[in-house]
């Protein structure tokens, strides 16, 4: 009997480790992800170490990076794009996320009428194509046919209107705010979901202790949704440093006026694909893409190791 049992046991042990279904279930995601994400990424990184010298495609080591940071023109364009990108990101962090949180807090108020309607209305722009958003806002802000100058005229503020998209000083802020308008639904929805997750008991306990209204929001709810705010920040960071489409539709590939709205995405596009008479420069484009990848990687790492581990999570 014991012999038989051990024999059965070893047979089972022999059979069990080969859990093929894991591979089978992983395969679709792994294959697709490798084909459309990992291989192109590796290829881009590889390309940034090559360049065309005398008609030959040769390995040049870090020469492309040396050009990007060493050549005064490339460096000026790159730092300009990076600075603009930081401004773009900071405006999102300073405007989009606080307003998103505030909207979520208002929506989660018990007894709010038409909550579903507001929720949909705030989220709707996020679903629109950036081409439509860019075009609509270009028209709204147009000094010739725009609604904006007319509306401002109605309230006697016409003098404050300016062709914002055409002025180097205001174009980047204007484009950033349009992007904020478009994407405000994402932080709102994530925070809204997090707020709904807070158990009634916690709120009731707070109320019994006499914490209500704003105090309740700042002392109870906000700490509980901090992890969600962390996620939103990192999503905003990645989204902003990959941004391209809205600037391209509103300001064109040259990201005017005077490169005032040029961010890393448009800089990469212009370099890689070329524009008008400018022919595409794939190796330098790949170099810029690599730097963008490293910037985003650094940002995500700082968040993962520096911030996320310190955030306290509460289990209910």
Question: Contact positions toward other proteins, by CB under 8 A?
Answer: 73-74, 138, 141-145, 149, 162-168, 252, 254, 256-259, 273-281, 284
CB nearer to other proteins: give 237 or 272.
Answer: 272
E strand or H helix at 101 = helix 97-107
CA nearest 252: which of 160, 135, 101? 135
Task: Specify the 3-state DSSP secondary structure of 48.
Answer: coil
**Cα separation of 189 and 100, whole Å?**
8
Smallest gap, in angstroms, from Cβ of residue 291 to other proteins?
A: 17
Neighbours of 193 (CB within 10 A): 13
E strand or H helix at 149 = helix 147-154
User: Helical H runs in 198-254?
Assistant: 200-208, 213-216, 222-241, 245-251
Smallest gap, in angstroms, from Cβ of residue 252 to other proteins?
A: 6
- 263: left (phi > 0), else alpha (psi -120 to 50), else beta? beta
CB nearer to other proteins: give 189 or 264.
Answer: 264
Smallest gap, in angstroms, from Cβ of residue 279 to other proteins?
A: 6
Smallest gap, in angstroms, from Cβ of residue 174 to other proteins?
A: 9
CB nearer to other proteins: give 273 or 303.
Answer: 273
Q: Which residues pair with 57 in a beta bridge?
A: 52
Pairing relationship of beta strands 274-275 and 278-279 according to DSSP bridges: antiparallel
CB nearer to other proteins: give 118 or 164.
Answer: 164
Smallest gap, in angstroms, from Cβ of residue 55 to other proteins?
A: 10
Smallest gap, in angstroms, from Cβ of residue 129 to other proteins?
A: 16
Using CA atoms of 283, 261, 78, 296 in order, give the dihedral in degrees to the nearest 10.
Answer: -80
E strand or H helix at 275 = strand 274-275
CB nearer to other proteins: give 13 or 144.
Answer: 144
CB nearer to other proteins: give 168 or 223.
Answer: 168
């Amino acid at each position: 009997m014991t012999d038989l049992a051990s024999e059965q046991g070893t047979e089972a042990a022999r059979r069990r480790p080969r859990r093929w279904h894991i591979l089978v279930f992983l395969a679709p995601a792994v294959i697709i992800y490798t084909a459309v994400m990992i291989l192109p990424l590796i290829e881009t990184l590889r390309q940034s170490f090559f360049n065309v010298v005398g008609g030959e495609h040769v390995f040049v080591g870090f020469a492309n990076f040396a050009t990007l940071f060493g050549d005064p023109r490339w460096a000026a364009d790159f730092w300009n794009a990076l600075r603009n990108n930081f401004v773009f990101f900071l405006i999102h962090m300073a405007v989009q996320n606080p307003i998103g949180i505030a909207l979520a807090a208002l929506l989660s108020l018990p007894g709010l009428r038409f909550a579903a309607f507001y929720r949909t209305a705030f989220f709707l722009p996020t679903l629109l194509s950036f081409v439509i958003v860019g075009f609509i806002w270009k028209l709204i802000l147009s000094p010739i046919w725009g609604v904006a100058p007319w509306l401002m005229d109605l309230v006697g503020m016409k003098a404050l209107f300016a062709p914002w998209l055409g002025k180097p000083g205001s174009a980047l802020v204007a484009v950033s705010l349009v992007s904020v308008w478009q994407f405000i639904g994402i932080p709102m929805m994530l925070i809204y979901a997090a707020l709904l997750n807070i158990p009634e008991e916690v709120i009731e306990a707070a109320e019994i202790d006499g914490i209500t209204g704003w105090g309740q929001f700042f002392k109870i709810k906000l700490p509980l949704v901090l992890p969600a705010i962390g996620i939103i920040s990192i999503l905003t960071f990645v989204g902003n440093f990959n941004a391209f489409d809205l600037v391209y539709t509103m300001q064109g590939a040259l990201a005017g006026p005077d490169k005032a709205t040029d961010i890393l995405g448009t800089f990469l596009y212009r370099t890689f694909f070329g524009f008008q008479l400018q022919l595409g420069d794939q190796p330098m484009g790949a170099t810029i893409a690599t730097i963008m990848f490293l910037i985003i990687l650094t940002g995500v790492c700082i968040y993962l190791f520096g911030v996320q581990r310190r955030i306290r999570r509460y289990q209910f």
